[in-house]
């Protein structure tokens, strides 16, 4: 049975099924896999078999000049042409990668704005969505990024709605994609939409995969103690982690993932081994332990940061989890005793705080934070604050 390729947001009216044309803008240090995966599935859908003739799909590589663009892995790609009329294309695809290695060329940002003002749809892949926001095009829009780059987006743009629990998102004339192999899923969706499902399936089969994931499919979890296969539970876990500072009601989480409260509780306990509330509580306590070791906040401030309105409740749960009080833990950390704790291996969190409208945005110690994937989280040196 083929997985439907419908995005979670209300789509624009589907274009007529004709030749599909895309203009690619490769940003400095772009990710090669996100670019090449999308190009290849388009190539395979463009012709019969694997003959690579651009009969149904065409594309071009655009840039402010014809100098080679270096990818994040060092491989260089030569643009085909400089920026011109964007209305020649159905989509302008901005492929990002490593951030802040060098500033964007002003002509690149201007071309994005021109494409938007001309009615051309824009696609941001990997950090290409952040580039669209940097161009001032994503205010009030949902922008899909990898969980790894959630931090980068919210630190730069508090007027953009970050999405890190899906593969790609369509919001009005913009499509943003987490990147990586999610480019394959996006490509299949585009082909299905413009050329028909048969062409999408043919391309997927040649690429040795049998189906594409839907737009609302959950991103793979950051490394953790266990892997949960159920898409609904994985999304629920991500939503919990995005709002540790202000825990969400189970009913709200269930509604967000398309389940009733009872259904979510049942499948969550079956796959995770604990209730939704227990999972949220355990993560908040573990995050509290990290704050004690890595921030100068008082214990009361730590409790509040972790979503506990009562510091005594936080103290009780902390003692139950770690066998000592938060104050004892902090004193121990002054001697470096937390430096090698194996319990860090299961921690990955996204910290959230509500704004005045009740919407949630990520913060860490009062500053925009976001996903603390284990690689980034543990790559930071943990220095004791209590001296």
Q: What is the pLDDT along the chain (387 residues), one digit of tens a residue?
A: 333 343 433 333 344 445 899 999 999 999 999 999 999 999 999 887 777 777 889 999 999 999 999 999 999 999 999 999 999 999 999 999 999 888 999 999 999 999 999 999 999 999 999 999 999 999 999 999 997 888 789 889 989 998 887 899 999 999 999 999 999 999 999 999 999 999 999 999 999 998 898 888 777 655 443 567 788 888 888 888 878 888 999 999 999 999 999 999 999 988 888 899 999 998 899 888 888 877 889 999 999 999 998 999 999 999 888 888 999 888 876 544 443 333 433 443 333 333 333 333 333 333 333 333 323 332 333 333 222
In a domain, 13, yes or no: no
Q: Are residues 259 and 387 in the same domain?
A: yes
In a domain, 12, yes or no: no
Q: Are residues 189 and 133 in the same domain?
A: yes
In a domain, 322, yes or no: yes
Q: Are residues 306 and 343 in the same domain?
A: yes
Q: Are residues 166 and 194 in the same domain?
A: yes
Q: Are residues 137 and 160 in the same domain?
A: yes
In a domain, 14, yes or no: no
The CATH number given to whatever domain includes residue 359 is 1.10.10.60
Q: Are residues 226 and 169 in the same domain?
A: no
Final residue of a structural domain among 174, 206, 238: 206
In a domain, 126, yes or no: yes
Q: Are residues 144 and 198 in the same domain?
A: yes
CB contact at 8 A, 92 and 59: no
Q: Are residues 300 and 356 in the same domain?
A: yes
Tokens of 238: 């991500």
Least Cα distance to 103 among 154, 178, 27, 179 occurs for 27
Write out the residue range of the structural domain in which residue 200 sits.
Answer: 20-206
The H-assigned helical ranges of the chain are 32-45, 106-117, 128-134, 150-156, 182-194, 197-206, 231-242, 250-256, 261-272, 276-294, 299-305, 311-322, 326-333, 374-379
Q: How does DSSP assign 71-129, residue by residue?
A: BTTS-EE--SEE---GGGSSEEEEE-BS-SSSPPPHHHHHHHHHHHHTT-EEEEETTHH
Q: Are residues 180 and 230 in the same domain?
A: no
pTM: 0.62
CA distance from start to end of the chain: 61
CB contact at 8 A, 90 and 17: no
Whole-number pLDDT of residue 46: 87
Q: Are residues 339 and 314 in the same domain?
A: yes
Final residue of a structural domain among 206, 239, 262: 206
Final residue of a structural domain among 155, 181, 206: 206
Least Cα distance to 94 among 62, 56, 119 occurs for 62
In a domain, 355, yes or no: yes
Quick one: how far is CA 127 from the chain centroid?
A: 9
Whole-number pLDDT of residue 221: 56
In a domain, 48, yes or no: yes
Number of structural domains, the chain?
2
Q: Are residues 25 and 150 in the same domain?
A: yes
Q: Are residues 225 and 337 in the same domain?
A: yes
In a domain, 201, yes or no: yes
**At which residue do the structure tokens 């993560």 appear?**
283
Q: Is residue 20 helix, strand or coil? A: strand
The CATH number given to whatever domain includes residue 35 is 3.40.50.880
């Amino acid at each position: 049975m083929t997985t439907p390729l419908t995005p979670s947001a209300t789509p624009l009216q589907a274009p007529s099924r004709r030749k599909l044309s895309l203009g690619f803008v490769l940003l400095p240090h772009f990710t090669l896999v996100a670019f090449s995966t999308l190009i290849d599935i388009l190539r395979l859908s463009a012709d019969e078999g694997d003959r690579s003739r651009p009969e149904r799909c065409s594309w071009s590589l655009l840039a402010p000049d014809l100098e080679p663009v270096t990818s994040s892995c060092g491989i260089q790609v030569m643009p085909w042409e400089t920026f011109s009329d964007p209305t020649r294309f159905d989509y302008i695809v901005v492929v990002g990668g490593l951030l802040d290695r060098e500033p964007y060329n002003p002509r690149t940002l201007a071309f994005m704005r021109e494409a938007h003002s001309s009615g051309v749809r824009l696609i941001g892949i990997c950090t290409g969505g952040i580039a669209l926001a940097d161009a001032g095009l994503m205010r009030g829009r949902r922008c899909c990024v990898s969980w790894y780059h959630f931090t980068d987006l919210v630190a730069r743009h508090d007027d953009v709605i970050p999405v890190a629990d899906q593969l790609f998102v369509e919001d009005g004339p913009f499509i943003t994609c987490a990147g990586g192999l999610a480019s394959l899923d996006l490509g299949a969706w585009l082909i299905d939409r413009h050329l028909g499902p048969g062409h999408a399936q043919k391309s997927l089969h040649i690429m040795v995969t049998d189906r594409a994931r839907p737009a609302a499919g959950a991103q793979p979890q950051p490394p953790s103690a266990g892997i949960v296969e159920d898409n609904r539970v994985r999304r629920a876990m991500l939503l919990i982690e995005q709002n540790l500072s202000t825990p969400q009601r189970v009913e709200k989480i269930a509604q967000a993932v398309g389940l009733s409260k009872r259904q979510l509780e049942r499948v969550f306990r079956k796959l995770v081994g604990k209730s939704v509330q227990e999972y949220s509580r355990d993560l908040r306590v573990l995050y509290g332990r990290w704050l004690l070791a890595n921030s100068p906040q008082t214990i009361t401030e730590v409790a509040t940061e972790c979503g506990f309105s009562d510091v005594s409740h936080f103290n009780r749960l902390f003692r139950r989890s770690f066998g000592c009080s938060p104050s004892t833990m902090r004193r121990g950390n002054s001697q470096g005793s937390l430096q090698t704790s194996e319990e860090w291996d299961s921690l990955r969190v996204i910290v959230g705080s509500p704004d005045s409208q009740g919407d949630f945005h990520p913060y860490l110690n009062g500053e925009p934070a976001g996903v603390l994937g284990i690689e980034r989280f543990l790559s930071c040196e943990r220095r004791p604050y209590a001296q």
